[in-house]
Chain A
C-alpha cells in the first residue's frame, strides 16, 4: 500500500534555531516528492518538488533532501522565523500510466511552532 509517514507530528523550536522534518514513504513507482507549507486557515503552498535524480533542492531557508534508495526525505529549515510556524506536508507522486492524473499521496503533516 502506498503510504507517506511524517515525523515528528509536532515540534516547538525557538526563533533563530534550525530544525529538520522527516518524511518516509512506500510509494511505487516513484515519480517525485513535494514539500508544502500550510499556514493556519490557508491552503498549502508548494516549497519544493524533487524527482528521482535530485538529492537536494533549496528554496530560501528551506532545503529538502531526497534519498530514493532508502525512500526518505527531509526538510531542513535554517534560522527559523516566527512566520515559519505552520504545518509542513510531504507529498509523494506515483507515476500514473495512461492518464494525466498522477497519484498523489499526502502525509499528515508536521506542525511546527516557532516561539520568540
Chain B
C-alpha cells in the first residue's frame, strides 16, 4: 500500500533552473497539499487543492506553481529556482475537509539550490 509517493527524493539545482516535483496518492483522496519544512520552523503550506480541478494559495506561494493533473496527482513547479527555496518539500493528502480528516504525508523531496 504505497499511500503518498513523491519523486524525486533528492535533487540539486543551480539558481535559475526549473523543475517539477511530482506527487501521487492511491487512497482516492479529494484534497492534496504541498508543504515545505525548514530547520527550526514548522511545516508551511505552499499550495493546496481541495478537490480535482481546484488549487489555492497557502502561506508561502511565491516562486511556485501547482497543477492538479487528476485526482491522484498534484505537482509543484519551481520556474526559476532560488537558494531560498532550498528545503524539504512534503506532499500530503486527505479524504475531505482538512479540519475533520488526518493528513497522509509522503516522505519528502530534499531540494538544494546552489
Contact = CB atoms under 8 A, between A and B. Distances in A.
B43 A101 contact: no
**How many A residues are at the interface, by size bracket?**
20 to 34
Nearest to A105: B42
B40 interface: yes
Given A100-B51, A102-B99, A43 B41 contact: no
A20 to B, nearest CB: 20
Contacts of A42: 107-108
Contacts of B97: 100, 102
Contacts of B44: 106
- Number of contact residues on B: which range applies? 20 to 34
Nearest to B106: A43
B46 interface: no
A68 interface: no
Given A42-B107, A89-B42, A32 B99 contact: yes
Interface of A: 4, 31-32, 34, 41-46, 49, 89, 93, 95-96, 99-102, 104-109
Given A96-B99, A104-B98, A104-B103, 10 more contacts: A31-B99, A89-B43, A93-B99, A100-B96, A101-B50, A101-B56, A101-B98, A104-B45, A106-B42, A108-B42
